[in-house]
Amino acid sequence: SIPRNKHRERERERELENDMMRKYCLLLLSLAMVVAQQQKRRSANLHKAAHESTVRNILLPKFKPDGKQLVPGNHTSNVAVLVSSSRYWFNYRHVTNALSMYHLLKRGGYSDDNIILMLADEIPCNSRNPFRGSIFSRGALGGEGDDLMADVEVDYAGTDVTVDAFLRVLLGRHLSGEGDTPGLYRRTLPRLDENTNVLVYLTGHGGDNFFKFQDGEELMSHEVASVFSQMYEMRRYNEVLFIADTCQAFTMADQITAPNVFSVGSSLKGQNSYASHGDAEVGQSVIDRYSKSIKDFVDDAVAMAPSQSNTATSFDDSTVAVMERLNAFDALVRVPTMHGELGKSSEVGYTSRLCKRRMSEVPLSDFFAASSEDRNNLISRSSVQATIWKADDFKVQADSNTDERECKIMPDNWPEEDEEYVREEKPLRKGVSAWDTEMLVLIGGFIMLVSLSSKFL
């Protein structure tokens, strides 16, 4: 009877242990489900779920007090020249490419005085546009989408967008009647000197060593090289970041010899640069993959990074904080390559061989945000007026105080790295951080399973 009682006691102990193990497993399963739901909700707020681990690996550690910070350059001002050179409705996406970069710059503290925006076509006013006066990169959503024409100042539009105008802007050579003179050509060119960082962004159609302007003329790679060399001799820049989003884009940098010019192309020689996605309401592809990948990643990084208190209404402190910690190589080369889905036959080309710094040492804010001095001096504007020309007598006007924009006839006197292509940077760590909630749950569950299994051994 005694052995039988011991046997029963052992069976009860085993039942208790099995019951406890089942409870532990149910608890672990419940925690895993909670974590999965949190992950799903968090990823749903991002443009791309894969950005989450990348932001955690390369960016969030830099927000810690002991995080390694990037050293900003020695420039005192920033100027950007953004060009969408394509005409016709089916090139809708090229306008959204340029406007996406424009809004990133504005969030970084750029004033319109330091941005030259050149749009070759009047896409918002095109007769086939179902949402007149508006343009969308993420989808129209019945006209409620993110309208990129809100609060935009266009400097050159329509037939004014030419190779000659582009080169004149960089060299600071006004046409007769331009400058401070009242009238149609009221535009003034930004001041450039040896302390100015210059961002040059081109989007449109191109090929081997050429970039098309409105299907009527071409900007050649040797002209790009020449204008940068002239700017260097004229002391019109501190550093230049040259970005081309077009087919065979990187060939536009083939002949650049001026020092301190970083060059990035969305595709290499013989490769295409592809559209991202279309919108059924618009009826066109609404943005290109490369430009979209940059904008989406910065947006997702801002969403995940510690929020910053805004000190000015004219720029976003959280965006600036991210740009100060995100290096240009990660933002413009590595992330588009990893997450941009550029296509099997598209690779990002880049070079910093003529520069004092590597791209991985350059904060994105050195080119995509106003200098700290300029940000401190910014005064918020209550109203920004956007004007774009279809022809000499056709304009669209927008006002930031209202949501209504119209396309109408206006009077003529309307006031006005070491190799060419290298991959020597260390690849991003894949997976999760040791401090992720998912990792902590897995570690806790493993410890519980080990402790329980030891009782049966």
Active site residues: 205, 247
CA dihedral 173, 396, 83, 189 (to 10 degrees): 20
Compute the distance between CA of residue 48 and CA of residue 52 in angstroms, rounded to an integer. 8
Compute the distance between CA of residue 126 and CA of residue 275 in angstroms, rounded to an integer. 20
The answer to whether 384 touches 311, Cβ cutoff 8 Å, is: no
Compute the distance between CA of residue 286 and CA of residue 278 in angstroms, rounded to an integer. 6
Residue 334 DSSP class: I
- Geometric angle at alpha carbon 291, from 356 and 136, rounded to 5°: 145
The answer to whether 347 touches 327, Cβ cutoff 8 Å, is: no
Reduce the DSSP state of residue 320 to 3 states and report it: helix
- Geometric angle at alpha carbon 55, from 54 and 61, rounded to 5°: 115
Name the nearest CA neighbour of 285 among 293, 274, 299: 274
For residue 406, the cross-strand partners are 397
Residue bearing tokens 């390559």? 337
Q: Tokens representing 293?
A: 């990948």
Helix residue spans in 163-283 (DSSP H): 163-171, 221-233
Q: Tokens representing 119?
A: 């749009």
Task: Indicate the burial class of 22 (C-beta count within 10 angstroms; 0-12, 13-18, 19 or more).
Answer: exposed
Residue 124 DSSP class: G
Q: Tokens representing 6?
A: 């011991």
Positive/negative CA dihedral, 361, 365, 366, 368: positive
Name the nearest CA neighbour of 199 among 86, 45, 364: 364
Chain length of the chain: 457
* Per-residue exposure over 345-361, b if at least 16 CB sit within 10 Å of its own CB, e if not: ebbbbbbbebbeebbbb
